[in-house]
Amino acid sequence: MNYGSRWAETLVQADIASPGTANSFLKATHVTCTRRGHQITAATLNILQHKAYGKYTEDAQSNGHEPLEFGVWCQQRAECCPQNQTSRYTWMLWLNCLADKITDAPHVTSVILDEPAVVDMLKPGGSRTFQECSTAVFIPYIKSQLKHRSRLNLEWDCYLKSGSLKATVRCNRGKGIRRCVTASGPLLSNWQNFLHNSDNKEELFRLLSEQVMQLVVKESKQLVVTDKKQVLTVPPRNDTANLTPCNHEEADTRKMVHAADALECGHRRILIRTVDTDVVILAVALANERSEVLDELWLTFGTGKNRRYLAAHQIAKALGPEKSRALPVFHAITNCDMVSAFAGHSKKAAWATWNAFPEVTTAFLSLASTPSELPDGVLSTLERFIVLLYDRTSTCCDVNVLRKKLFSRKSRSLEDLPSTRAALGAAHKESCL
pLDDT given at position 39: 57
Beta pairing, strands 230-234 & 222-227:
antiparallel
Q: Which helix (H) or strand (E) holds 225?
A: strand 222-227
Is 53 contained in some domain?
yes
Is 72 contained in some domain?
yes
Give the C-alpha separation, 282 to 329, whole Å.
10
For the beta carbon of residue 20, count every other beta carbon within 10 angstroms. 9
Select from 209, 201, 188 the least CA-distant residue to 127: 188
Give the C-alpha separation, 431 to 433, whole Å.
5
Domain-ending residue, one of 99, 133, 149: 99
For the beta carbon of residue 204, count every other beta carbon within 10 angstroms. 22
pLDDT given at position 278: 85
Residues 6+ apart with CB under 8 A from 222: 150, 151, 152, 233, 234, 235, 237, 265
Cis peptide before 116 (omega within 30 of 0): no
**Grouped pLDDT means (10 residues each) for the chain, 433 residues:** 53 64 61 52 64 71 63 56 43 45 80 88 87 93 91 84 60 73 89 84 90 86 89 88 82 90 94 87 94 93 75 90 92 72 78 91 90 81 89 86 78 72 67 53
> Is there a contact between 200 and 120 (Cβ–Cβ < 8 Å)?
no
User: DSSP class of residue 304?
Assistant: G
pLDDT given at position 397: 87
> Is there a contact between 203 and 221 (Cβ–Cβ < 8 Å)?
no
Q: Are residues 194 and 49 both part of a single domain?
A: no
> Is there a contact between 59 and 305 (Cβ–Cβ < 8 Å)?
no
Helices (runs of H) and strands (runs of E) counted in the chain: 20, 7
Q: Are residues 77 and 168 both part of a single domain?
A: no
Q: Are residues 197 and 303 both part of a single domain?
A: yes
Which domain CATH number covers 251?
3.40.50
Is 2 contained in some domain?
no
Domain-ending residue, one of 319, 336, 367: 319
Q: Are residues 246 and 258 both part of a single domain?
A: yes
| CA distances in angstroms from 62 to 8, 76, 90, 208, listed in the order given | 33, 20, 32, 60
Q: Are residues 69 and 26 both part of a single domain?
A: yes
Q: What is the residue type of 7?
A: W
Domain-ending residue, one of 284, 319, 354: 319
Q: Are residues 227 and 301 both part of a single domain?
A: yes
The region, left, alpha or beta by phi > 0 then psi within -120 to 50, assigned to residue 228 is left
pLDDT given at position 8: 65
Q: Are residues 214 and 327 both part of a single domain?
A: no
Is 231 contained in some domain?
yes
Q: Are residues 230 and 313 both part of a single domain?
A: yes
pLDDT given at position 85: 43
Is 104 contained in some domain?
no
Q: Are residues 39 and 128 both part of a single domain?
A: no
Q: Which range of residues forms the domain containing residue 241? A: 110-319
For the beta carbon of residue 329, count every other beta carbon within 10 angstroms. 25
Q: How many CA atoms lie within 13 A of 138 on its CB side?
A: 27
Residues 6+ apart with CB under 8 A from 160: 249
281-311 burial by CB neighbour count: b if 16+ within 10 A, else e?
Answer: bbbbbbbbebbeebebbbbbbeeeeeeebbb
Q: pTM for the complete prediction? A: 0.72
Is 275 contained in some domain?
yes
For the beta carbon of residue 74, count every other beta carbon within 10 angstroms. 21
Total domains in the fold of the chain: 3
Q: Are residues 289 and 342 both part of a single domain?
A: no
Is 1 contained in some domain?
no
**What single string gives the DSSP state of each residue in 306-332?**
G-EEEEHHHHHHHH-HHHHHHHHHHHH
Is 274 contained in some domain?
yes
Instruction: Using alpha carbons only, give the angle 176, 179, 180 rounded to the nearest 5 degrees.
Output: 145
pLDDT given at position 100: 46
pLDDT given at position 375: 80
User: DSSP class of residue 81?
Assistant: -
Q: Are residues 122 and 199 both part of a single domain?
A: yes
**What single string gives the DSSP state of each residue in 326-342?**
HHHHHHHHHS-SSSPPP
Q: Are residues 85 and 230 both part of a single domain?
A: no
